[in-house]
Structure 1
Amino acid sequence: MPEPDPFFARRRPGRPGLAVFLNAGDPPLERLPELAAMLDENEVDCLELAVPFPDSVTDGPVVRRSADRALAAGAGLEQTLAAVARIRPGLRRLRIALLADWSHTVRGTGPDDFAAAVRDAGCDGLLLHGVPPRLRTAHYEAAHRAGLPLVTTCYAVSGPEAVAEAARHATAYLYLVAHYGRSGTSAAPDPARLSRALATLRTACAVPVAVGFGVKTAEDIALLADLGADAAVVGSAGVARIEAALTQGRDPVEEFASFVRELRTAGGTVRLPDPDAKESPS
């Protein structure tokens, strides 16, 4: 089987790459093959697939409710990796970056064993959330030994040392978080701040830079491209569409397909719901 393309390598000239975030198990894992095939057909470059974990301090109400639904349905690391292993051979364009929380999912597992399991399932990259500083080197080295590309993160307001560390260890892509706050509850990205951060990363980073937090519409994605981002990461707005479909008895995969097509619309106003306007679905 040939080596997969690097992340965002197939994006069209002049158009930024697109990554979408979902919790594994929301919609149910048995729908993942259909959902992944739909993303592949609609030229989505990356699925950030999270192993669900509770009470995330960086996620707003929409993503936390999604994780709770997935956990209640029994989605965990074993189930998520098994689902990836089933769908990965059939994908042509879509890359899968697994997002896992160190405390909930990884603690107690040796870093080499964890990295090998993620690689063997067919994940194209790994974003490990909340790694204690004293364990980061072991995490980086284990991923390198496994040949598992890493997604690293920094903020648009991070200091030079944090930016340098993220740029040095990113081998899949670097996730530039537009600003502090919880996902889905933040304001739109600050163009001037992002432009400065992207200019700095251009000189330090050898892999694509994807920007997330506050990215909800086709217009947001176009703005990021103008500022120099290689890709955009869309999370809460899409998860909100899945939640609305589940609540209202509509098909969540069809609803998410509609959402993705809106994100890929050139020009015009894309009208999306405010994902965290209410604490519970209406």
Structure 2
Amino acid sequence: MALSFGTKPGLVVYLTAGDPSLEATYSIALAAIDNGADVLELGVPFSDPLADGPVIQRASERAVGRGVTLHDVLALSKRIREARPLTGIVLFSYLNPVVRMGLDAFCKAAKSNGADGVLLTDMIVEEAADYLTHMRENNLAPIFLAAPTSPDERLRAIAEHSQGFIYAISRVGITGKQTSLESDAESLVRRLRQFTSKPIAVGFGISNAEHVAAVGQFADAAIIGSAIVLLIEQSEPGIEAERVGEFVRDLRQPAT
């Protein structure tokens, strides 16, 4: 159980836990893993996901409407860990549900339920001292977001305190499927390389095999989120896992 990547570029797959249901998310997660995902990001549904675009916002709203909670996502993490022991699992959340649970309780629960790392979208590295202490005590990898607009001093701190991998945002703005890969991504990765040899994964807008291949030229992994969440939204009930498995498998194919 570790956050590591096999064939370069690695694949990180984001799922909104509980959309369309917790049981469906479990099946989708296994299909993604079995078809090439190295790491799963399990998104904790939140009522006000400001950093996310409309696709993930809708998924989060549906899951919240079904009553899916942080405790449900932790239980789902445990099931996935038991079924696929070697896959990296990251809990992806906003800070609010974690604060409500309590940092210490959350970190202990995350570890005991099979998570390897945590990414809190609105936890900034400058204010993370207490959070980092609890993460270290529970042998969890804190993952921070690095943006193209971040000054070098901030990138240095992000590189120092991130473990597992660094999440490089390919562009400024919200998450969402894009037709082309932003040029900011390569520049940001190059800037981060000044400060670290840790793996760097690029996300926001990665949506096809061509994007994944392009990311592999300068980064260690590609993160696929909105494209998969949209595919789930558009799938007929009961075939979501099959469609996601095919999609992830196709991401591994060389771009033509």
- TM-score higher than 0.5: yes
Corresponding residue number in structure 2 for 1:277: none
8 Å contact from structure 1 (residues 95, 124) kept in 2: yes
Give, in angstroms, the shift of residue 171 of structure 1: 0.9
Deviates more, 1:233-242 or 1:200-209: 200-209
Corresponding residue number in structure 1 for 2:39: 46
Structure 1 counterpart of 2:191, from 197, 200, 221: 200
Corresponding residue number in structure 1 for 2:161: 169
8 Å contact from structure 2 (residues 202, 215) kept in 1: yes
Over 3 Å counting, the alpha-carbon distance change for 1:123 and 1:5 in structure 2 is: closer
The RMSD of aligned alpha carbons is 1.9
| Paired residue type of 1:130 | D
List alignment gaps of at least 5 residues for structure 2: none
Corresponding residue number in structure 2 for 1:72: 65
Give, in angstroms, the shift of residue 163 of structure 1: 0.6
Please list, as runs of the form range in 1=range in 2, the aligned pairs for 1:194-273 lying within 5 A after superposition.
194-226=185-217, 228-245=218-235, 248-249=236-237, 251-268=239-256
8 Å contact from structure 1 (residues 85, 122) kept in 2: yes
Please list, as runs of the form range in 1=range in 2, the aligned pairs for 1:95-244 lying within 5 A after superposition.
95-103=88-96, 105-131=97-123, 135-184=127-176, 188-191=180-183, 193-226=184-217, 228-244=218-234
8 Å contact from structure 2 (residues 121, 145) kept in 1: no
Partners of 1:120 and 1:6 in 2: CA distance:
16
8 Å contact from structure 1 (residues 111, 142) kept in 2: yes
8 Å contact from structure 1 (residues 40, 93) kept in 2: no
8 Å contact from structure 2 (residues 24, 240) kept in 1: no
- Larger radius of gyration, structure 1 or 2? 1
List alignment gaps of at least 5 residues for structure 1: 269-282
Where relative contact order (Cα < 8 A, 6+ residues apart) is larger, the structure is: 2
3-state SS of paired residue (2:52): coil
Over 3 Å counting, the alpha-carbon distance change for 1:133 and 1:198 in structure 2 is: closer
Partners of 1:150 and 1:56 in 2: CA distance:
20
Over 3 Å counting, the alpha-carbon distance change for 1:133 and 1:197 in structure 2 is: closer
| Paired residue type of 1:197 | L
Partners of 1:136 and 1:113 in 2: CA distance:
16
| Paired residue type of 1:64 | Q
| Paired residue type of 1:107 | V
3-state SS of paired residue (1:52): coil
Using the size of structure 2 for normalisation, the TM-score is: 0.93
Partners of 1:241 and 1:47 in 2: CA distance:
16
| Paired residue type of 1:23 | T
| Paired residue type of 1:213 | F
Partners of 2:219 and 2:74 in 1: CA distance:
30
3-state SS of paired residue (1:201): helix
User: In the comparison of the two structures, how many residue pairs are matched?
Assistant: 256
Corresponding residue number in structure 1 for 2:18: 25
8 Å contact from structure 2 (residues 177, 206) kept in 1: no
Give, in angstroms, the shift of residue 180 of structure 1: 0.9
| Paired residue type of 1:169 | H
Deviation per residue, 1:227-271 (Å, 9 max, x gap): x200000111111100001xx446211121122122122123xxx
Over 3 Å counting, the alpha-carbon distance change for 1:266 and 1:133 in structure 2 is: closer
Give, in angstroms, the shift of residue 34 of structure 1: 2.3
| Paired residue type of 1:52 | P
